[in-house]
Structure 1
């Protein structure tokens, strides 16, 4: 079998065309594979970013919920402390109303002095029973006054140097 020059050139051209088509196909396959790989990675990246965004939003919501609950508990504690403070203030006011003040002690001393005067007056009139009662009441008033001053804390005056 003898090939003519035209047949040889046609065979070489066909082989060259096949090599070129094979190269183009291979190159396009690589390009498409890279594009698909990039798209898959991009989609995974988007999915990953979406997942991270959703997780971040959940974390923010949880932090806001925790902050809201902390504020709520702080408000409840403040309210409880305020109620306890009001109760303590009422108790202190009640105790102050029940306790003797310095003015009360001065009045007590004045009454003791008046009772001594009344006892002397009754003794002068000859009513010794009434005079004795007035002296006992006066002594009792003085004892109350002394007990009060023994229970009052001593105020220390600081000397400035």
Structure 2
């Protein structure tokens, strides 16, 4: 099969047009791709800048939070130390006061026993006065006996209450 000159020219024109169309589309694609890549690069740069700013801001906030936490831990440590010292001082003061109270206690169990013995003697005197028809003296002796027994009971209560406080204080110390 032999091609005629107009056919050869037509084939040449088609190949040239196809090549020219291919080049045009290639340049259009290149320009579009370059523009798209530029847009993507700009978006990535913007994201990088935003991420850097956000990271810097979060880092600064984290540093500030760490400083605040360190300050609060330091203050808490100082408060704990102060509390320990206050508890120690309180214990020393309490022991001192209990010692002073024990030393200052003017009445003891023996004093109570003496008062009870005196009350018994007053009772004996009251009985003796009653037998001698000295009713005024017997009445006075009975009154003194009642007062003496009342004082003995109060001393017993005070000693028991004080012993209870000392026991509680000793347990706390």
- TM-score with structure 2 length normalisation? 0.53
Q: Give the 3 Å change call, closer, same or farther, for CA 30–41 of structure 1 in structure 2.
A: same
For 1:136-151, what aligned pairs fall within 5 Å after superposition? 147=151, 149-151=153-155
Query: Larger % of helix: which?
Result: 2
Match of 1:99 among 90, 97, 105: 105
2:157 maps to 153
1:25 aligned partner? 31
1:45 and 2:60 aligned = no
RMSD of aligned residue pairs (Cα, Å): 3.7
Distance (Å, rounded) in 2 between the aligned partners of 1:68 and 1:12: 81
1: CA distance between counterparts of 2:156 and 2:82?
A: 38
Measure, in 2, the Cα distance between the counterparts of 1:151 and 1:60: 63
2:63 is matched with which residue: 26, 33, 57?
57
Aligned residues: 123
* Deviation of the 1:11 alpha carbon: 6.5
1:99 positional shift = 0.6
Q: Secondary structure at the match of 2:38?
A: helix
Quote the offset at 1:41 in angstroms: 0.7
Q: TM-score, normalised to structure 1's length?
A: 0.56
| Bigger relative contact order (CA 8 A; separation at least 6) | 2
